[in-house]
């Protein structure tokens, strides 16, 4: 592994202009620029241009074929444009001749494309701003590191048999994780924590709270960096929610707070739990729309193999200020650090759509002064069915088909996504469900081939 040495360029604190980016690129000897954007499925896309085209790109004149991207447009309306966000300009630590800029997608009429995930999040952030709030987010991203075979293909074997918070010599992925942290810091991330997770080969790297748009950008950058550095260590990094049966899956917990002119809007020192009416309303909105936004937080068939009892992932729609078993948790810190944590999302989710959805759901609770049910203080996994029914505690959708069904019934979530993105996302997820439903699995052949 190369020992990266590069002048740090902090993308979280940049306040660049077009002229500054042009000068920096020239000064650093950049030769290739990667214009990045994200499709509806949460997959990063990339258009690469030589340095001679940078000024044209910064003027928003680089065109691409939108009909070739899942969930975008038909072939007869395929001309789309990339509008770079200059504050996301950063040079790759592993290749000083290359840089990236994250872009918004625009139509040929120079209007924001309604199916651009980044634009959808911006709309939700504007709704929050109109109510006097900023939305801050701290993600917790988990992933697996698997070995590769002689051909470089991923295999379901890990370098270690370590567990939660274990360190060397059993955490053999620690060196790769350390290099990931170094590269992320070079790219402007403030890393708060990193450690081995519960399952063999499973890791987590957490980065600092920030505004939601930057947080979503950072999640996409994080995934790119983790994969690239893993490959340089001869490993395969995956954000698949449940790659191995019988062990914990990977989540992407989302820590959230609203900020107003007085500071953290979730904090009230006079309340018994230290929570404001805004916080209670936000929690109520998260719970009320939980079934509907699950198709966005958990967008793959595999996502629901993680959302089962026994592996720490949430199953029941409840909240707690004292334990981690429900869907929504309120961590103990109060004051500037007051926040709520949504524990259901997994890293296959499109971060722009995920944050737009939970913000919209939470704001619905705030706007309508909703009140959540009582906090669940005991381990919800140990509760009997009768106790759950008595307290009206429902469970999350058990599969992708059921999740899409609930999304179809929720006008708020549909309005957050917008007509175009909602229809395209529904089609993409139902196509995946139908493909899965028609698949004959190894489990089925083992179970039925000789039995019948």
Task: Give the residue-averaged pLDDT of 236-264.
Answer: 93
Task: Give the residue-averaged pLDDT of 248-263.
Answer: 94
Given a cut of 80, whether residue 72 has pLDDT beyond it is: no
Does the annotation count 386 as an active-site position? no
Residue 390's pLDDT band, with cuts at 50, 70 and 90, is confident
Does 18-113 carry CATH code 3.90.1150.10?
A: no
* 182 in Cβ contact with 194 (< 8 Å): no
**Residue showing tokens 């549909």:** 414
pLDDT of the residue at 163: 55
Given a cut of 60, whether residue 358 has pLDDT beyond it is: yes
Pairing of strands 328-329, 319-320: parallel
Task: Give the residue-averaged pLDDT of 309-336.
Answer: 86
Residue 95's pLDDT band, with cuts at 50, 70 and 90, is confident
* The one catalytic residue among 85, 171, 179, 204: 204
* The one catalytic residue among 196, 343, 410, 429: 343
User: Which percentage of the chain shows pLDDT scores above 70?
Assistant: 92
Given a cut of 80, whether residue 408 has pLDDT beyond it is: yes
Does 123-441 carry CATH code 3.30.590.10?
A: yes
Name which of 115-124, 357-366, 382-391 the model is least confident about.
382-391
The tokens describing 55, both together, are 């000024």
pLDDT of the residue at 148: 86
The tokens describing 384, both together, are 């009997």
Task: Give the residue-averaged pLDDT of 30-35.
Answer: 96
pLDDT of the residue at 153: 86
Does the annotation count 197 as an active-site position? yes
Residue 3's pLDDT band, with cuts at 50, 70 and 90, is very low
Q: Regarding predicted confidence, which is higher, 402 or 153?
A: 402
For the chain, which residues make up each domain, given as ranges? 18-113, 123-441
C-alpha neighbours within 13 Å on the C-beta side of residue 119: 20
Does the annotation count 204 as an active-site position? yes
Average pLDDT of the residues of the chain:
89
* The one catalytic residue among 19, 23, 59, 65: 65
pLDDT of the residue at 80: 86
Task: Give the residue-averaged pLDDT of 9-26.
Answer: 78
pLDDT tens column, 133-191: 999 999 999 999 998 888 888 888 887 766 555 555 455 677 888 899 999 999 988 98
* 206 in Cβ contact with 140 (< 8 Å): yes
pLDDT of the residue at 385: 83
Given a cut of 60, whether residue 1 has pLDDT beyond it is: no
* The one catalytic residue among 177, 233, 253, 329: 253
Name which of 11-20, 293-302, 379-388 the model is least confident about.
11-20
Q: Which of 242, 233, 239, 93 shows the shortest CA–CA distance to 173?
A: 233
Between CA 79 and CA 374 the distance in angstroms is 51
Given a cut of 70, whether residue 9 has pLDDT beyond it is: no
Task: Give the residue-averaged pLDDT of 34-61.
Answer: 94
* The one catalytic residue among 39, 85, 104, 140: 140
Residue 300's pLDDT band, with cuts at 50, 70 and 90, is very high
* The one catalytic residue among 104, 142, 346, 410: 142
User: Which percentage of the chain shows pLDDT scores above 90?
Assistant: 68
Does the annotation count 31 as an active-site position? no
Residue 318's pLDDT band, with cuts at 50, 70 and 90, is very high
Name which of 11-25, 42-56, 158-172, 303-317 the model is least confident about.
158-172
Does the annotation count 23 as an active-site position? no
Does the annotation count 65 as an active-site position? yes
Task: Give the residue-averaged pLDDT of 55-75.
Answer: 75
Does the annotation count 140 as an active-site position? yes
* The one catalytic residue among 104, 179, 197, 364: 197
pLDDT of the residue at 7: 37
- What burial class does residue 450 get, using C-beta atoms within 10 Å of its C-beta: 0-12 exposed, 13-18 middle, 19+ buried? exposed
* The one catalytic residue among 324, 395, 420, 427: 324
Residue 69's pLDDT band, with cuts at 50, 70 and 90, is low
CA dihedral 341, 342, 343, 349 (to 10 degrees): -130
Task: Give the residue-averaged pLDDT of 420-447.
Answer: 94
Task: Give the residue-averaged pLDDT of 370-391.
Answer: 84
* The one catalytic residue among 55, 98, 341, 402: 341
């Amino acid at each position: 592994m190369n020992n990266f040495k590069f002048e740090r360029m902090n993308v979280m604190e940049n306040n660049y202009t077009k002229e500054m980016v042009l000068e920096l690129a020239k000064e650093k000897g950049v030769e290739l620029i990667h214009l990045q954007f994200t499709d509806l499925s949460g997959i990063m896309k990339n258009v690469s241009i030589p340095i001679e085209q940078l000024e044209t790109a910064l003027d928003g004149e680089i065109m691409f074929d939108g009909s070739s991207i899942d969930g975008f447009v038909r072939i007869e309306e395929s001309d789309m444009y990339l509008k770079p966000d200059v504050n996301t300009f950063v040079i790759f630590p592993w290749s000083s001749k290359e840089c990236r800029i994250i872009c918004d997608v625009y139509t040929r009429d120079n209007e924001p494309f309604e199916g651009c995930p980044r634009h959808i999040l911006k709309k939700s952030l504007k709704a929050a701003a109109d109510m006097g709030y900023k939305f801050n987010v701290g993600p917790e991203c988990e992933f697996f590191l698997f070995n590769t075979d002689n051909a470089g293909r991923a295999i379901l074997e890990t370098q270690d048999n370590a567990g939660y918070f274990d360190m060397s010599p059993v955490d053999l992925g620690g060196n790769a994780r350390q290099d990931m942290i170094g590269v992320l810091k070079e790219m402007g991330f403030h890393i708060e924590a990193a450690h081995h997770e519960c399952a063999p080969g499973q890791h987590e790297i957490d980065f600092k709270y920030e505004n939601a748009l930057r947080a979503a950008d950072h999640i996409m950058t994080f995934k790119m960096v983790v994969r690239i550095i893993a490959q340089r260590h001869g490993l395969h990094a995956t954000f698949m929610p449940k790659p191995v049966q019988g062990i914990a899956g990977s989540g992407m917990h989302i820590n959230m707070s609203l900020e107003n002119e007085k500071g953290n809007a979730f904090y009230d020192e006079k309340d018994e739990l230290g929570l404001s009416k805004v916080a209670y309303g936000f929690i109520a909105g998260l719970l009320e729309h939980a079934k509907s936004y699950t198709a966005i937080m958990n967008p793959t068939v595999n996502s629901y193999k993680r959302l089962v009892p026994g592996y720490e992932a949430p199953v029941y729609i409840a909240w707690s200020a004292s334990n981690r078993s429900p869907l929504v948790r309120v961590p103990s810190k109060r004051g500037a650090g007051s926040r709520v944590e949504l524990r259901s999302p997994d890293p296959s989710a499109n971060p722009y759509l995920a944050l737009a959805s939970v913000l919209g759901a939470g704001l619905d609770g705030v706007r309508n002064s909703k009140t959540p049910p009582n906090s669940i203080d005991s381990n919800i996994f140990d509760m009997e069915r009768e106790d759950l029914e008595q307290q009206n505690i429902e469970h999350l959708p058990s599969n992708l088909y059921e999740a899409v069904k609930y999304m179809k019934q929720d006008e708020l979530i549909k309005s957050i996504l917008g007509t175009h993105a909602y229809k395209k996302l529904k089609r993409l997820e139902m196509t995946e469900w139908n493909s899965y439903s028609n698949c004959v699995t190894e489990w089925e052949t083992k179970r039925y081939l000789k039995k019948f």
